[in-house]
């Protein structure tokens, strides 16, 4: 119980704005994946016939889910475009 | 009946997700230069990313499927697992405990114990956590394999190996960074599958009021629609089978605070945030989705109960409670959304395994290898060690999964036992952070006896010596016993042993200035915009929870 204390490596060694973040902005990844899913579901939804509708209790669920996904994708893409990385407002700590 | 019939489109959507996740891993590999990049994601992520990862790390498929099953078995009272059993603890973590964790610059939860209490407590906690992580990863893999087998007809072995390989690739390359990015993606995909499912499910039974009528007429009865009614002491009629005191104290206080404030797989997400304020906001941002998730787990559970004949009577050939979500996906979703829901299930299974593995490699590398087994090596060594531990962890998890396939009951017991380790540790942390007098031996003795007390209650209940009424009530009492014993023993032993040396307290105990002269207090970070103020965010989450509890009382 009397070992010298070795705290975690000082964070000074970690450069600000990680390489991970500079490599790719997660907002674009989310926007792209959900966007592709959205487009596919909207097309599938427009082609849905009575059989698919009956399965989902009469809701055109593919179409609506696709639209929802496109909206979320658009939010992330617009966010990424209007607030690119690197100009984040500085925050005060302590 | 459970077997799904996905079309080529569904498989394409699933494959696309795998490509994106593996792509993240491969690209993220270029971001990894040091062990800190690999194991801590460079401590640079924004709060919304770590916040969503925080909630997603807990949104494993076992959780989703299990909560839908609870919804079918206990009804609306299942919300206690979210509104009482998670949100208050998450707010407490964000406002009270996160400042201490973040300021201490620890890289893991066990490391905090090392700074504060010394090596024995540290080794005890780190070793237990490492063993628990790898076994739970195995249990998750096995659960995934069962679902793959039931839904798609894949052999269990194939399911286990394929999913383990995917996890290995993206964690092994990108480390915690790609685990967290994967979790955030998974969060959106699982909701994109569950929200349509819940909507269609309600429509399927004819709307909300029809659902309520049918639940009242079902085995659950009127109590199945209420969270608090029928939880009076001595007259418990609510299907959850516990009175309000054991719900509030057992689930709300002891169990959930132990889990949410000290489980490293969760805290690790907050520790990887870019600054103290962002680390505090991590669990607070996570609280909001957590408040709303029961809508997409409990509703499908209730619909399955009333819409699927003989549901929950597996003895007489009906489906099990755990089949609620898979069965509804198969019955209600057409090609397209079906693929999204399937992808969400896969994704959340893998995110659960990935969360276990990415916290395992950090604890083994920074808490077992670096201080004790292989001290004083280069950072390169620890980076490679992190990668090797990842691979070894995944391989052990595969074996655990295969073992679980043969000894299903043993794994259930093991998981309950690990639950025992969570309950007392919250007491140890709170005393350590806020009471200067807590000594190293006090912390160690309290933690050890707390665990033993919890284990004793568990064994006595299993052996039938004591009877608390239901499994849920037993786990509440077991956690309560562990907590109380931990507090009492820690206090008594601390008072009987020497005061801790001042350098053990510097900068990590309330009111004791650190080497940099900063005194740890509960003063909150100054933020200009309201959505960055931790106290405001936490207050909003609690207020919303109170309102919902009144509405669904």
Residue owning tokens 């990108």: B174
Among candidate residues B212, B289, B276, the one with its CA nearest the CA of residue B55:
B289
Partner-chain contact B31 A18, CB within 8 Å: yes
Domain coordinates of chain A in residue numbers? 25-82
Q: Mean pLDDT: which of A48-57, A72-81, B256-265 is highest? A: A72-81
Among candidate residues B392, B394, B356, B346, the one with its CA nearest the CA of residue B21:
B346
Residue of chain A nearest B376, judged by CA positions = A6
Report d(CA B549, CA B225) in Å as an integer: 12
Report d(CA B326, CA B142) in Å as an integer: 16
In order along its 553 residues, chain B shows pLDDT tens digits of 578 888 899 999 999 999 999 888 888 888 888 888 888 887 888 999 999 999 998 887 778 888 898 899 888 989 998 999 899 999 999 999 999 898 888 889 999 999 999 899 899 889 888 888 888 888 888 888 887 887 888 888 888 888 899 889 888 888 888 889 989 999 999 999 999 999 999 999 999 999 999 988 888 888 888 888 888 877 778 887 778 887 888 778 877 888 899 888 899 999 999 889 999 999 999 999 999 999 999 999 999 999 888 887 777 777 888 888 888 998 899 999 999 999 998 888 888 888 889 899 999 999 999 999 988 899 999 999 999 999 999 999 998 888 877 776 665 666 666 667 777 888 999 999 999 999 999 999 999 999 889 888 888 888 888 877 666 677 778 888 889 999 999 999 999 998 888 888 888 888 888 877 778 888 888 888 888 889 999 999 999 999 999 999 8
**Cross-chain CB nearest to A20 (options B41, B200, B523):** B41
Task: Assess contact for B400 and B135: CB atoms under 8 A.
Answer: yes
Nearest chain A CA: its distance from B7 CA (Å)? 12
Which chain B residues touch A19 with a CB distance below 8 Å?
A: 30-33, 37, 42
CA atoms within 13 A on the CB side of A27: 16
Nearest chain B CA: its distance from A60 CA (Å)? 10
Report d(CA A94, CA B521) in Å as an integer: 10
Report d(CA B290, CA B91) in Å as an integer: 12
ipTM: 0.88
**Cross-chain CB nearest to B335 (options A23, A34, A44):** A44
Residue of chain A nearest B328, judged by CA positions = A56
Partner-chain contact B105 A57, CB within 8 Å: no
Partner-chain contact B118 A62, CB within 8 Å: no
pLDDT of residue B257: 87
Best of A7, A10, A39, A53 to disrupt the B interface by mutation (most B CBs within 10 Å)?
A7
Nearest chain A CA: its distance from B87 CA (Å)? 25
Question: In this complex, how many residue pairs, one in chain A and one in chain B, have their CB atoms less than 8 Å apart?
Answer: 175
Task: For residue B210, give both structure tokens.
Answer: 């029809």
Does position A20 have pLDDT exceeding 80, yes or no?
no
Among candidate residues B368, B294, B337, B289, the one with its CA nearest the CA of residue B119:
B368
Question: Helices marked H in B363-439 — which ranges?
Answer: 379-406, 408-434
Ramachandran quadrant class, B191 (left: phi over 0; alpha: psi -120 to 50; beta: rest): alpha
Which chain B residues touch A56 with a CB distance below 8 Å?
A: 200, 203, 332-334, 337
Partner-chain contact B106 A72, CB within 8 Å: no
Among candidate residues B548, B502, B26, the one with its CA nearest the CA of residue A20:
B26
Cα distances (Å, whole numbers) of residue B399 to B115, B154, B164, B395, B447: 34, 18, 11, 7, 30
Report d(CA B58, CA B53) in Å as an integer: 9
What is B8-226+239-406+523-551's CATH number, 1.10.260.40, 2.60.40.10, 1.20.1730.10, 1.10.10.10?
Answer: 1.20.1730.10
* Burial status of residue B394 (CB atoms within 10 A of its CB: 0-12, 13-18, 19 or more): buried
Residue B19: strand, helix, or coil:
helix
Going by the DSSP 8-state scheme, the letter that residue A4 receives in this structure is P
Task: For residue B58, give both structure tokens.
Answer: 């807990």
Residue owning tokens 């160690």: B444
Among candidate residues B285, B365, B294, the one with its CA nearest the CA of residue B53:
B285
Does position A89 have pLDDT exceeding 50, yes or no?
no
Domain coordinates of chain B in residue numbers? 8-226+239-406+523-551, 407-522
Partner-chain contact B106 A8, CB within 8 Å: yes
Residue owning tokens 């900063």: B518
Cα distances (Å, whole numbers) of residue B444 to B123, B368, B418, B491, B532: 10, 17, 18, 11, 37
Residue of chain B nearest A14, judged by CA positions = B42
Best of A56, A64, A84, A85 to disrupt the B interface by mutation (most B CBs within 10 Å)?
A56
Residue of chain A nearest B28, judged by CA positions = A20
Which chain A residues touch B174 with a CB distance below 8 Å?
A: 20
Partner-chain contact B336 A18, CB within 8 Å: no
Which chain A residues touch B203 with a CB distance below 8 Å?
A: 56-59
pLDDT of residue A46: 92
**Would you tell me how many other CB atoms lie within 10 Å of the CB of residue B466?**
11
Sign, CA dihedral A67-A68-A73-A74, equals positive
CB contact set of B518 (below 8 Å; sequence gap of 6+): A94, B103, B507
Going by the DSSP 8-state scheme, the letter that residue B273 receives in this structure is B
Which chain A residues touch B196 with a CB distance below 8 Å?
A: 61, 64-65
Report d(CA B431, CA B439) in Å as an integer: 10
Task: Assess contact for B78 and B71: CB atoms under 8 A.
Answer: yes
Residue B231: strand pairing partners: B236
Cα distances (Å, whole numbers) of residue A30 to A24, A71, A72: 11, 12, 9
Report d(CA B274, CA B286) in Å as an integer: 16
Partner-chain contact A16 B337, CB within 8 Å: no
Query: DSSP labels for B48-95?
Result: HHHHHHHHHHT--HHHHHHHHHHHHHHGGGGGHHHHTTTHHHHHHIII
**Cross-chain CB nearest to A18 (options B42, B111, B529):** B42
Residue of chain A nearest B17, judged by CA positions = A33
Report d(CA B229, CA B226) in Å as an integer: 6
Does position A35 have pLDDT exceeding 90, yes or no?
yes
Task: Assess contact for B165 and B398: CB atoms under 8 A.
Answer: no
Partner-chain contact B334 A72, CB within 8 Å: no
Among candidate residues B397, B368, B365, the one with its CA nearest the CA of residue B384:
B365
Report d(CA B72, CA B80) in Å as an integer: 14
**Cross-chain CB nearest to B44 (options A9, A21, A37):** A21
Best of A1, A76, A77, A86 to disrupt the B interface by mutation (most B CBs within 10 Å)?
A1
């Amino acid at each position: 119980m009397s070992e010298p204390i070795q705290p975690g490596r000082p964070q000074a060694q970690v450069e600000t704005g990680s390489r991970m973040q500079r490599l790719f902005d997660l907002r674009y990844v989310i926007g792209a994946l959900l966007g592709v899913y959205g487009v596919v579901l909207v097309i599938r939804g427009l082609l849905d016939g009575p059989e698919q509708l009956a399965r989902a209790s009469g809701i055109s669920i593919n179409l609506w889910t696709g639209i929802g996904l496109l909206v979320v994708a658009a939010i992330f893409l617009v966010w990424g475009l209007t607030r690119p990385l690197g100009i984040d407002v500085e925050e005060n700590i302590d | 009946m459970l077997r799904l019939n996905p079309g080529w489109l569904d498989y394409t959507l699933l494959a696309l997700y795998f490509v994106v996740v593996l792509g993240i891993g491969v690209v993220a590999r270029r971001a990894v230069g040091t062990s800190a990049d690999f194991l801590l994601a460079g401590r640079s992520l924004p709060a919304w990313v770590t916040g969503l990862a925080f909630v997603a790390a807990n949104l494993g498929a076992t959780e989703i499927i299990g909560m839908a099953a609870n919804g079918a078995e206990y009804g609306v009272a299942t919300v206690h697992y979210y509104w009482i059993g998670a949100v208050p603890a998450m707010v407490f973590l964000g406002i009270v405990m996160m400042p201490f964790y973040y300021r201490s610059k620890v890289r893991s939860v066990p490391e905090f114990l090392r700074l504060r209490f010394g090596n024995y407590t540290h080794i005890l906690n780190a070793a237990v956590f490492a063993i628990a992580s790898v076994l739970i990863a195995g249990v998750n893999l096995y659960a995934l394999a069962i679902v793959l087998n039931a839904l798609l007809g894949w052999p269990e072995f194939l399911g286990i190996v394929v999913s383990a390989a995917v996890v290995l690739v993206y964690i092994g390359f990108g480390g915690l960074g790609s685990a967290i990015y994967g979790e955030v993606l998974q969060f959106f995909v699982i909701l994109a599958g569950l929200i349509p499912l819940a909507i269609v499910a309600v429509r399927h039974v004819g709307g909300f009021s029809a659902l309520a009528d049918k639940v009242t007429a079902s085995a659950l009865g009127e109590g199945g629609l209420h969270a608090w009614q029928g939880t009076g002491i001595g007259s418990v009629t609510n299907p959850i089978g516990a009175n309000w005191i054991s719900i509030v104290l057992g689930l709300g206080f002891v169990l959930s605070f132990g889990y949410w404030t000290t489980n490293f797989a969760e805290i690790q997400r907050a520790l990887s945030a870019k600054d103290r304020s962002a680390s505090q906001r991590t669990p607070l941002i996570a609280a909001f989705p957590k408040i709303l998730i029961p809508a997409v787990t409990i509703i499908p559970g209730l619909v399955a109960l009333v819409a699927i004949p003989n549901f929950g009577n597996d003895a007489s050939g009906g489906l099990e409670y755990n089949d609620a979500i898979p069965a509804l996906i198969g019955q209600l979703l057409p090609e397209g959304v079906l693929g999204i829901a399937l992808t969400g299930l896969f994704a959340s299974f893998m995110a659960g395994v990935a969360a276990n593995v990415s916290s395992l490699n950090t604890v083994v590398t920074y808490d077992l290898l670096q201080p004790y087994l292989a001290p004083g090596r280069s950072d390169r060594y620890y980076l490679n060690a992190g990668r090797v531990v990842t691979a070894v962890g995944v391989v052990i998890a595969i074996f655990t999964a295969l073992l679980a396939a043969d000894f299903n009951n043993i794994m259930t017991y093991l998981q309950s036992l690990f639950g025992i380790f969570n309950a007392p540790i919250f007491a140890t942390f709170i005393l350590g952070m806020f009471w200067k007098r807590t000594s190293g031996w006090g912390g160690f003795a309290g933690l050890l006896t707390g665990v033993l007390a919890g284990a004793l209650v568990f064994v006595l209940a299993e052996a039938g010596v004591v009877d608390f009424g239901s499994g849920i009530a037993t786990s509440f009492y077991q956690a309560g016993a562990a907590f109380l014993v931990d507090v009492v023993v820690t206090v008594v032993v601390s008072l009987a042993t020497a005061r801790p040396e001042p350098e053990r307290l510097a900068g990590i105990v309330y009111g004791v200035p650190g080497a940099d002269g900063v005194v740890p207090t509960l003063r909150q970070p100054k933020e200009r915009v309201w959505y960055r103020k931790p106290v405001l965010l936490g207050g909003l989450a609690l207020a919303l929870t109170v309102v919902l509890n009144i509405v669904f009382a």
